[in-house]
Amino acid sequence: MELAFLLRGVGADVVWITNQKPLEDDEVVYSLEHKMLDRGVQVISAKGQKAVDTSLKADLIVLNTAVAGKWLDAVLKENVVKVLPKILWWIHEMRGHYFNADLVKHLPFVAGAMIDSHATAGYWKNRTQARLGIKMPKTYVVHLGNSKELMEVAEDSVAKRVLREHVRESLGVRNEDLLFGIINSVSRGKGQDLFLRAFHESLERIKEKKLQVPTMHAVVVGSDMSKQTKFETELRNFVREKKLENFVHFVNKTLTVAPYIAAIDVLVQNSQARGECFGRITIEAMAFKLPVLGTAAGGTMEIVVNGTTGLLHSAGKEGVIPLAKNIVKLATQVELRLRMGKNGYERVKEMFLEHHMSHRIASVLKEVLQHAKARALR
């Protein structure tokens, strides 16, 4: 979405070819498509001749996920060879099941790959070679950046206060209470279960040591109330078993995360295994001067400076106790919390703004377009 808007901002014609059906009952998909249309981005179905014609006419095709590789053969069919030289493959994933020949067999032949972190780029280089015996194309690492709209809210003290008060009131959390938030789609890979175990452990430690801290709450943003998956049921059962119903709150998935960032005091980024490819929510929270408690894995390690902008802990079950200790540490040390938040904001201003990202992407696009043009003339 952000790349589409950046390209529209410099006058490019942009078409979003989507596999999603514009179902009005899926609030996130519906909202996303209308944001695209409002900014002058055309939206068409990934199936059918129109998608083929648009791809053949385009100067550049950006595949915006690893699984988009299936679309190449399924829709473009015999035209795949014609479009490969003008494809920039933007990869955001680092789970093992993406290393499937059906998905990525065309990777070596595209103009380039763009990946959100050095950790993920290294992982893709090693795994494609080891598992599939294929070589990555020229790969560009481009860290993401916060939008101007988000930064405007983050730097507006009045707006932040209003959002904070509104969300906290809806959750039943007082202004003086301490709120830890995890903002991610609810799934085992995002580590909400281990976060809740760490949160419970931190409460037990505070009680045992008789520490003086504000009332502590946790909010899990990213639920899907309609589906009620087995994993989400596990989360809610755990909350009930530990009698945390008054202190742990669940919020449905949303594209509008700023109000919840404004409402919390600490962000927990608890993605498991290899961690996040990048973790946009991390830089968004840092823009709001929040410290981050994150797993020492993936892109988080390229964002969070351990001990300076937040605290890192191990992924997996072995990370539960260290995370609990870090929760207690930030709960009991107000000055440390505030200092880390300020340091994080300064790091965002230095490295993770929209103009940083747009400059990085512009240089990639220039090189990829030149490469595509040169191959077309052969």
Asked whether residue 51 carries a pLDDT value surpassing 60, the answer given is: yes
Mean pLDDT across 298-319:
98
Mean pLDDT across 277-291:
97
Dist. CA 126–CA 330, nearest whole Å: 37
pLDDT of residue 234: 96
Taking the CB of residue 223, how many other CB atoms lie within 10 A of it? 21
* β 139-141/87-91 pair status: unpaired
Query: Predicted confidence band at 371 (pLDDT cuts at 50, 70, 90)?
Result: confident
Q: The tokens 């240089």 sit on which residue?
A: 363
- pLDDT, tens digit, for every residue of 76-97? 999 999 999 999 999 998 887 8
Dist. CA 297–CA 95, nearest whole Å: 13
Nearest to 197 by CA among 177, 176, 215, 218: 218
- Domains of the chain and any CATH numbers: 46-144+355-377 (no CATH), 148-351 (3.40.50.2000)
Query: Predicted confidence band at 227 (pLDDT cuts at 50, 70, 90)?
Result: confident
Nearest to 368 by CA among 142, 88, 136: 88
Q: Which of 173-187, 219-233, 286-300, 340-354 has the lowest mean pLDDT?
A: 219-233
Asked whether residue 146 carries a pLDDT value surpassing 90, the answer given is: yes
Q: Counting beta carbons within 10 angstroms of the beta carbon of residue 173, is it exposed (0 to 12), middle (13 to 18) or buried (19 or more)?
A: buried
Contacts of 334 (CB under 8 A, 6+ apart): none
Dist. CA 187–CA 151, nearest whole Å: 28
Q: What percent of the chain has pLDDT over 90?
A: 80
Single-letter code of the amino acid located at 81: V
Dist. CA 18–CA 153, nearest whole Å: 30
pLDDT of residue 300: 98
pLDDT of residue 375: 73
pLDDT of residue 25: 56
pTM of the model: 0.92
Dist. CA 110–CA 138, nearest whole Å: 9
3-state secondary structure the chain: CHHHHHHHHCCCCCEEEECCCCCCCCHHHHHHHHHHHHCCCEEEECCCHHHHHHHHHCCCEEECCHHHHHHHHHHHHHHHHHHHHHEEEEECCCCHHHCCHHHHCCHHHCCEEEECCHHHHHHHHHHHHHHHCCCCCCEEECCCCECHHHHHHHCCHHHHHHHHHHHHHHHCCCCCCEEEEEECCCCHHHCHHHHHHHHHHHHHHHHHHCCCCCCEEEEEEEECCCCCCHHHHHHHHHHHHCCCCCCEEEEECCCCCHHHHHHCCEEEECCCCCCCCCCHHHHHHHHCCCCEEEECCCCHHHHCCECCCEEEECCCHHHHHHHHHHHHHHHHCHHHHHHHHHHHHHHHHHHCEHHHHHHHHHHHHHHHHHHHHHHHCC
Dist. CA 287–CA 1, nearest whole Å: 20
The angle subtended at Cα 353 by Cα 18 and Cα 284, nearest 5°, is 75
- pLDDT, tens digit, for every residue of 172-214? 999 999 999 999 999 999 999 999 999 999 999 999 999 999 9
Beta carbons of 289 and 339 less than 8 angstroms apart: no
